Amino acid sequence: MSETANEEICAFHYHNKSTVQCALCGLPICDSDEAITAEGRKICALCFNSPKATKFRKYIQIVTMVTTIASAILIFTLPALDGFEIWAFLLLIPVMIGLLIGGNKLLTSIAYKGLEKKQMILPLVRYFEASGNDQFYKIFFKNLKKLSDEDLEEIRKSLYDYLVPAIVFNYSKLAETWQEDLLKYLKIDEVSLAKIFTTDFRTLLINIAVHDAKPELSKFIFYLGEITEDDDIIHSYIKEIVSDDIKNLKDEQLRKDYDQLLEELYLYDELFYSVCDRLNLQKEKKSLTALIKRYDPPPVPKSAVDALKQQKDQVLQMQRQGLVSSKEDFELAEKEEVETEKTTEES
């Protein structure tokens, strides 16, 4: 949870303070929507509806399976008429699609019974944060874009408190268009969205980027600093990377706990170095270099040029083992390497 997020705010009623957390999923709930199980535990509306939805899902699966089997039996046992099997099969397709679409809609209505669209938003975001399942994120967007401007403004602050941590924790699982989608449906501009990350959630962002690093999150921080003209967040990020707590770790522990961070440094070393030069962080630049040297990269090429060199070495090794009959493969690899290096230099 973020620095600004308030666990006491009900996940369903944004103006109410939470009196308890759901005993099953942990969502903060208030007296307005808590339900009591047979065991006396207080749970949210979604968890209360979940057993019914699960039971109905089984019914859908059974009906679908029975329909499929019965249709197959009819198709292959009835008297063979010209084209009968084809028409029967074509008729079966819309029936199956209707079962799936209608069943899923009914399943959703059971799971979210009694809830307005705006009351589904925060639970879906929390489920995505906890599980990383992008299906929750997709359903969240479907509900978000159906909200009125009034509803959106009502939940906006609470939504940011839930949404930003979910994005940061699952950054590597987001679709490429996640930012464009948010700008469109949250109805804010790019700078405003970036400032939410760098101002209200600065500490959370840096801590996750360093201590629970996700692929590409380093580039995202540099982008946020650039678009908001906020060098302090980049400075703080690099300072945290080269803190004594990390530098003083033994190699084994460093690679175990910070392997993803080291990989980010290794892959984007030039980017880190250029930022250090721009901010005059020469001491930190040396520390970053020392950390990169402690990284044990996997045996895969870092660039296209390295890949071609590796290819040439492999062909040469195959020649020595008599697995190729001529030097044509070797010459081809060498020619491609020269052309690639020339293209790289020109660009």
**pLDDT per residue as tens digits for the range 219-267:** 999 999 999 999 999 999 999 999 999 999 999 999 999 999 999 999 9
Question: For residue 34, is it within any domain?
Answer: no
Cα–Cα distance measured from residue 270 to residue 236, given in angstroms and rounded to the nearest whole number: 19
Structural domain of 210: 190-298
Name beta bridge partners: 17. Answer: 9
Cα–Cα distance measured from residue 128 to residue 48, given in angstroms and rounded to the nearest whole number: 19
Question: For residue 84, is it within any domain?
Answer: yes
Whether the CB-CB separation of 40 and 72 falls below 8 Å is answered with: no
The closest alpha carbon to 33, from 10, 9, 5, belongs to 10
291 plus 216 within the same structural domain: yes
87 plus 69 within the same structural domain: yes
- Compute how many other C-beta atoms are within 10 angstroms of the C-beta atom of residue 49: 19
> Residue 17 has what DSSP assignment?
B
The closest alpha carbon to 13, from 114, 90, 164, 142, belongs to 114
Angle at Cα 129 formed by Cα 124 and Cα 132, nearest 5°?
100
Give the tens place of pLDDT for each residue, 183-192: 999 999 999 9
Cα Rg, the chain, nearest whole Å = 28
95 plus 194 within the same structural domain: no
Confidence at 1, pLDDT banded by 50, 70, 90: very low
Question: For residue 314, is it within any domain?
Answer: yes
What mean pLDDT is predicted for residues 86-109?
64
Does the pTM surpass 0.75? The reply is no
3-class state of residue 223 by DSSP: helix
Domain boundary among 111, 134, 153: 111
What mean pLDDT is predicted for residues 81-98?
59
Question: For residue 163, is it within any domain?
Answer: no
- Which distant-in-sequence residues (6+ apart) come within 8 Å of 37 by Cβ? 23, 43, 48
How many domains does the chain divide into?
A: 3
Q: Note the pLDDT of residue 325.
A: 47
